Amino acid sequence: MLDLTANDLAAVNDVILRRMDSPVGRIPELAGHLVSSGGKRLRPMLTLASARLCNYEGKQHVLLAACVEFIHTATLLHDDVVDDSVLRRGSPTANALWGNQSSVLVGDFLFSRAFQLMVEVGSLKMLGILSEAAARIAEGEVLQLLTTNDTGTTEDAYLDVIMAKTAPLFAAACRVGAVMAGRSREEEDALTSYGRNLGIAFQLVDDVLDYSAREATLGKTIGDDFREGKITLPVVLAYRRGSDSERAFWHRTLAEGAQEDADLAQALTLLQRHGALADTLERARHYGAIARDALAIFPNSKAKDALLGVIDFCIERGH
Amino acid sequence: MLDLTANDLAAVNDVILRRMDSPVGRIPELAGHLVSSGGKRLRPMLTLASARLCNYEGKQHVLLAACVEFIHTATLLHDDVVDDSVLRRGSPTANALWGNQSSVLVGDFLFSRAFQLMVEVGSLKMLGILSEAAARIAEGEVLQLLTTNDTGTTEDAYLDVIMAKTAPLFAAACRVGAVMAGRSREEEDALTSYGRNLGIAFQLVDDVLDYSAREATLGKTIGDDFREGKITLPVVLAYRRGSDSERAFWHRTLAEGAQEDADLAQALTLLQRHGALADTLERARHYGAIARDALAIFPNSKAKDALLGVIDFCIERGH
């Protein structure tokens, strides 16, 4: 994937740097911090590889990939404000460095810039796809807010959250590849399905990593979700499989937010006891398999191999 | 103005209510609070009246006016978070009722919805105008953040702030009226100039009202700007015209934020002593006069009278 998209990705980075510029110095300063702080650029890579899969020959894929990354970056800025996060990928978050106020406003700026870029691309269909994704993401984030601290969240309700907050941008990032190449509705739907299911798998693995990754590799503070009272699938499973006293533990720590130093270790013990992390990875594998089959209608190519490789990469991160 | 746009405005309100709906109940609940809490709908009225001025016969003006109001509402939601405001138009702000997190996310949702509406209208030119306005507003808000607490802000620097944060949406709201009617560049520019200068006048009067209006009429907490350390034109003038000890007062209260109970009264005394409120209104009148002349190329009509009346209304508010 990295090899396939390296040249295009350099062009995307160039567009990003030029378009986040502003006479108001705080904007490129803050945006640059996030853009340069080691993000994987997974979503724009998906746009580039999807365009390649569809033998797209033009130049719009670079602008659209930059749009996708702008929308993602704006979302991250607002997310970190909403979650009051202090670390992202091992670096202090923008809100920790410049305050919530700047993060909210620079997020708005990047979001607007994304739409300006789409206007340049000149396709109302793409604008429709990406503006719908953006609205869905905001809905999903609000939904997540409402499930926070609710230990009674079901697996279905949790899936609703990530199908809204994470999957739409993955799906849109891939779908626009087919749209810009003028491919059939069938191929458009196939790439949408690939992206949506990959996004779900990605989020589930991310939820596992929040309880299992070493801080150095993930660049995230372990236990963030736990401290913020976020109900993710590992917790949903452990809660439902647990004893009354275990449920009381989850209720005290996540619903009431009454946490003590040893609680994270106890949470990890309970997650292990019920196989909640391993089973969340199994669920992720299920969505990864759907994503894989969605691409079956495309003939073999380097781009297809790269997109299939992303599924494996996303799931391997969990081990 | 109200008579001219009454029917269309009812249709706009209908679009707003339908399009802010979402399966996530918190979204219509929070958005509805703001939308129904007595906003003047000034910006969408400008779109409707501008379309009428240009003899526009279609139906896009209703959707575009709703877009303009959605962008404005999203901006207000984020503004109140950034300013930590608790009252707007006499009602508790959304962030005071539902928290900053929901306000940030519902703002993002409304912003995305605005772009979805624009996609339905199907004009890339309008999308370009409104996305550029949105980016400029965000720039202006960041710029304002950076001048907050800076008592050395010059009148020019302050004008830069409001030309970025307030004027662009007024200008875009009017400009799209000419664009949808397919009018000449000259007429488009005239409505843009009208909107921009009206926006500047409107903001300057708003700044005056923050120090002079009765709470009941304005529905704002008097002295909000003062308490938040915002440097607005009345303060810029009083600071520059003041004695050393007066400047020390402004510096303590606004730059250092060390305020005591009697300070707002003292601020009002200093503003009066230097004629800062009256002279800010004079400046507003200047921009109102430019807005008036910008419309000179249009023949007389009810719509023109209404747009000219808005200038007077905006400035009369200050007395």
Domain CATH code at residue A33 = 1.10.600.10
Residue A141 is predicted with a pLDDT of 92
Cβ distance B131 to A112 less than 8 Å, yes or no, reads yes
Nearest to A112 among B135, B142, B146 (CB): B135
Residue A221 is predicted with a pLDDT of 65
Look-up: residue for tokens 């339905």?
B120
Closest residue by Cα to residue A40 from A82, A2, A95:
A2
Residue B130 is predicted with a pLDDT of 96
Contact status, residue B113 vs residue B197, Cβ threshold 8 Å = no
Burial of A49 (0-12, 13-18, 19+ CB in 10 A): buried
pLDDT under 50 in chain B at which residues?
A: 216
Letter string b/e over residues B266-296, b meaning 16 or more CB atoms within 10 A of that residue's CB: ebbebbeebebbebbbebbeebbebbbebbe
> B178 vs chain A: nearest CA distance in angstroms?
19
Residue A220 is predicted with a pLDDT of 59
Interface of B with A in 20-39 (CB under 8 A): 22-24, 26-27
**Which residue pairs from B114-117 have beta carbons closer than 8 angstroms and sit at least 24 positions apart in sequence?**
B114/B67, B114/B70, B114/B71, B114/B74, B115/A115, B115/A127, B115/A131, B115/A134, B116/A128, B116/A131, B116/A132, B116/A135, B116/B19, B117/B15, B117/B19, B117/B63, B117/B64, B117/B66, B117/B67, B117/B70
Alpha-carbon gap, residue B44 to B15, rounded angstroms: 12
* Predicted confidence (pLDDT) per residue in A222-250, tens digit: 888 898 889 999 999 999 999 999 999 99
Alpha-carbon gap, residue A310 to A315, rounded angstroms: 9
> B135 vs chain A: nearest CA distance in angstroms?
5
Contact status, residue A113 vs residue B113, Cβ threshold 8 Å = no
> A140 vs chain B: nearest CA distance in angstroms?
8
* Predicted confidence (pLDDT) per residue in B99-135, tens digit: 889 999 999 999 999 999 999 999 999 999 999 999 9
Task: Please report the number of interchain residue pairs, chain A to chain B, with beta-carbon separation below 8 angstroms.
Answer: 134
Contact status, residue B294 vs residue B194, Cβ threshold 8 Å = yes
pLDDT under 50 in chain A at which residues?
A: 216
Alpha-carbon gap, residue A158 to A233, rounded angstroms: 7
Q: Tell me the two tokens of residue A101.
A: 């106020």
Cβ distance B116 to A132 less than 8 Å, yes or no, reads yes
Alpha-carbon gap, residue B105 to A154, rounded angstroms: 23
Look-up: residue for tokens 């120090």?
B211
Domain hosting B242: range is 2-316
Residue B48 is predicted with a pLDDT of 97
Look-up: residue for tokens 């138009």?
B89
Residue B92 is predicted with a pLDDT of 85
Nearest to A105 among B100, B132, B145 (CB): B145
- Name every chain B residue with its beta carbon within 8 A of the beta carbon of A82: 100-101, 104-105
Strands B87-88 and A87-88, by their bridges, are unpaired
A119 in contact with B, Cβ within 8 Å? yes
* Predicted confidence (pLDDT) per residue in A186-223, tens digit: 999 999 999 999 999 999 999 999 998 765 455 556 88
Number of domains in chain B: 1
Alpha-carbon gap, residue A237 to A304, rounded angstroms: 34
